[in-house]
Structure 1
Amino acid sequence: MSSRARASATLAGLVLAVLVAGCADPAADRVSLVGATRPPASPPQPSATLLPPRPSHMTSSGPVRHPFPLATSLTEPMATGAPLPATGRPRFFVSARTPLVHFPGNSKTGVFTPVPPAVHDAATGAFIANIPLPPGISSSWQLVAAARDNRTFAIAGWTEPKSPEIRFFLVRLGEDGRPGRPVAITQTDPDDLRVVQDLALSADGTRLAYATPLIGGGAKISVLDVATGRRRDWRTMTHPMLGSLSWAPDGRSLAYVLGRRAIASLDLTRLAADPDGTTYQIIKNATGATPIESLAHTPDGSALIYASGHTVERVPVTGGPAQVLARPELPHDASLTLRFTVDGTGEHLLYTHEWRAYQVGLTDGAVTSVPITVGERPGEGDSPRAAW
């Protein structure tokens, strides 16, 4: 097996071990990394409910074990400030990847090399600059989310190999694409951030949503105030995999994909007014065995753009027939799903594969690609993820 294949297998295997065991010592001899997505299971009927904080930590005797109570310190989870303005066709994109891992000689113990996130010229893929990391973060992780202005980005960072955690920070780009000083998001409520499945930054840039699995079953969506660090958590017990988060432009709801089998919407206003009521709506179920991946609201908030397999479609947020927007031809070795990001105008889609950034025009279906060039260890490890 090649060193690259061994590295990918190690990352996936260690993540799975964390999810299944839930109690592995991260400081053990075999260093653990976390953050990859678990394979989807057949989903039951989904539901999402706002829960009050528990008086004590979950224990192994219950169906779900989680080291911290659900957070309720953020009383206003909506993001209703003025949306950051879209700036036309994106000029930049930001890439993020996991730390590199290699095995010296015949060793079975991985050695991890941190890598920074980077800014690229959207037209050429050329490297512009590394993004500096806040204190306490040694490497980028594989998650990055963009605001609609193509200048404000939320990035997941990785602490260190012996006690790995995921932390979040913001960065703003100048008009030349150069990153400013990173701003760490310091949470007021503790959380188990060894595995994070997705990130989404609100249109006004004031809230960060992220999804995490609950060890033993279920998953939660968290909304974080980036200025105060206060958080509000919601939980679903029906599936361990939530992802593809997307904020509505008005900041009053969050769309997400449940187990790659259904698109749902979480109503933040109803959660605040009626914490014990039904707060979710199923917008669309998957067709046959084709998985659903990625979500993006249209700029007016009336519809959602998503991928059904490799086909890009649009569906009204109220439900109804889907409309095909594009059918990009992916390489034969591409994933069965298409993970993408859409710019603030809603007209340009971006996805990555094997160190290339593919750009799809949603008005004409035209597809172009550019190489992703980085300043440190180019071409090493898995292809980065990107957002614009």
Structure 2
Amino acid sequence: MLVKKTVPYDDLCMSSRTSATLAGLALAVLTAGCADPEADRVSLVSTPQPPASSPLPSLTVVPPPSPMLSSGPVKHPFPMATSLTDPMATAAPLTTTGPPRFFVSARTPLTRFPGQSKTAVFTPVPPAVHNAETGAFIANIPLPPGIAGSWHLAAAARDNRTFAIAGWTGSTNPSIRFFLVHLDENGRPEQPVALTPTDPDDLTLVHDLALSADGTRLAYSTPLIGGGAKISVLDVATGRRRDWKTMTHPMVSGLSWAPDGRSLAYVLGGRAIALLDLTAPDGATSRIIKAATGALPMESLAYTPDGSALIYATGHTVERIPLAGGPAQVLARPELPPDASLSLRFSVDGTGEHLLYVHGWRAYHADLADGAVTSVPITVHERPGEGNSPRATW
């Protein structure tokens, strides 16, 4: 399936031609994040709902010398959502199935500029299920109506069978939508369930996803046009949503649900680990757990199964820090190739014993008990080896 169109502003993120500039932007953001994270506040904003005629922003440009330049200020078309009165996820957690048998990979549409053309051609690709031991392709994940292909974000519940996936609409004004999929005991995906927010949202760029332990809530983080970022919690059954925002940093990543569903851990601007208390009243201050002390950035987080500690990486060193206080413990030091990202994006399974990350077209499995790392090739059915490498979760 081919979709040919003039490149909108946010779609430039999908172009391999812009990847170097985006990497530079990310590094600039992380450098700017060296400001004191203790000063940050994450607050719930209550504002009236927009009129039905509120227009979606439309900003279309051809790739300029610096693809992050815009043609002028753009206002976010929708106010922050407050319709979800109870953002906690306190139902019984899904049952952990032991060492993961499967992982799900997701990637952005393939992008190319034929000849010297300034018009991109996008080829959507589906998310896929793989054997966790061998990396072998098991099946493509079916897509809900209106979703043309995968986006490079997915999140797993602790049962290794329930996954939340970001999809790309592939329309004239492309956007990101979420859906859930469940795997059977052989790793075969069932029919997906689209998640439709009750409150309108403008999702053209999402930094991270996290699915709660009970599978009832999806958290995601997005930048706010004009500055700052927001964390959203979506009820997967009703589509109701609640948002929090921070004006200190434009990037929030590493979202992770506490096993009891009462708080969210996240990385603020690559420079600090913080907790958002979902039981707190409006205007609550986020609590900083750990601030970065060196130049290496943080990106991913995971709660331990008992909720007493967080697993994170500073650069490529994986560590564990107790929430009650105390020194960090080194769990693994994966050796990545020189061309790898400065930060480590990973997924920890429901047992808290197995860590997964991707470089190129290989999936790396770190045993957090002894730090040993093994790798397997990632095989896909749709255009293997083309485009940017996928991201993976289990």
Q: In structure 2, how many angstroms separate the alpha carbons of the residues matched to 1:229 and 1:175?
A: 28
Give the drift of 1:109. Answer: 1.6
Which residue of structure 2 lines up, in the alignment, with residue 142 of structure 1?
152
Return the offset for 1:108: 2.4
Q: TM-score, normalised by structure 1?
A: 0.88
| 1:354 alignment partner in structure 2 | 360
Query: Number of residue pairs matched?
Result: 360
One-letter amino acid matched to 1:366: A
Show the counterpart of 1:203.
213
SS, match of residue 315 in structure 1: strand
Q: Residue in 1 aligned with 2:42?
A: 48
Q: Which residue of 1 aligns with 2:60?
A: none
Conservation of the 8 A alpha-carbon contact between 1:260 and 1:292: yes
Question: Which residue of 1 is the match for residue 122 of structure 2?
Answer: 112
* 1:73 to 1:14, Cα distance in 2 relative to 1, 3 A: same
For 1:275, which of 282, 302, 321 is the aligned residue? 282
Shift of 1:54: 4.4
State the partner residue of 1:9.
Answer: 17
Unaligned stretches of 5+ residues in structure 2: 1-13, 58-72
Q: CA deviation at 1:136?
A: 0.5
Deviations 1:287-344 (A, max 9, x none): 1212112000000000000000000001112343211111011111111000000000
**CA RMSD, Structure 1 to Structure 2 (Å):** 2.5
- Residue 73 of structure 1 corresponds to 83
- Normalising by structure 2, we get a TM-score of 0.87
Any idea what SS the aligned residue of 2:16 has? Answer: helix
Aligned to 1:372: 378
Task: Indicate the residue corresponding to 1:286 in structure 2.
Answer: 292
Tell me how far apart the structure 2 counterparts of residues 12 and 209 of structure 1 sit (CA, whole Å).
28
For the residues of structure 2 that align with 1:132 and 1:155, how far apart are their CA atoms?
11
Is residue 37–residue 197 contact of structure 1 (8 Å, CA) maintained in 2?
no
The equivalences for 1:55-94 within 5 A come to 65-94=75-104
1:14 Cα offset (Å): 8.9
Classify the secondary structure of the residue corresponding to 1:10.
Answer: helix
Structure-to-structure mapping, 1:229-244, within 5 angstroms:
229-244=239-254
Shift in alpha-carbon separation, 1:64–1:244, aligned structure 2, 3 A: farther
Residue 44 of structure 2 aligns to a residue whose secondary structure is coil
Matches within 5 A, 1:294-305: 294-305=300-311
Aligned: 1:321 with 2:327: yes
Indicate conservation of the 8 Å contact 1:187/1:230, yes or no: yes
Quote how far apart the aligned CAs of 1:105 are. 2.2
How far apart, CA to CA, are the structure 1 residues paired with 2:42 and 2:29? 21
1:10, distance to aligned residue in structure 2 (A): 3.5
1:74–1:12: structure 2 CA closer, same or farther, 3 Å change rule? Answer: farther
Task: Determine what percentage of the aligned residue pairs are the same residue.
Answer: 74
Give unpaired runs (5+ residues) of structure 1: 1-5, 20-35
Q: Secondary structure at the match of 1:324?
A: strand
What letter corresponds to residue 354 of structure 1 in structure 2?
A: G
Deviations 1:342-372 (A, max 9, x none): 0000000000001000000000111100000
Q: Which amino acid aligns with 2:228?
A: G
Structure 1 residues 320 and 53: alpha-carbon distance in aligned structure 2, compared to 1, 3 A threshold:
farther
Distance 1:159 1:193 in 2: 11
Letter in 2 for 1:9: R
Q: Which runs of 4+ in 1 moved over 4 A?
A: 11-16, 54-60
Distance 2:85 2:276 in 1: 16
- 1:364 aligned partner, one-letter code: D
The structure 1 residue matched to 2:187, chosen from 131, 152, 177, is 177
For the structure 1 residues 345 and 289, does the alpha-carbon distance in structure 2 shift closer, same or farther, using more than 3 Å as the test? Answer: same
Contact 1:197 1:212 in 2 (8 A): yes
User: Matched residues in 2 for 1:144 and 1:353: separation?
Assistant: 16
1:282 offset after TM fit, Å?
0.3
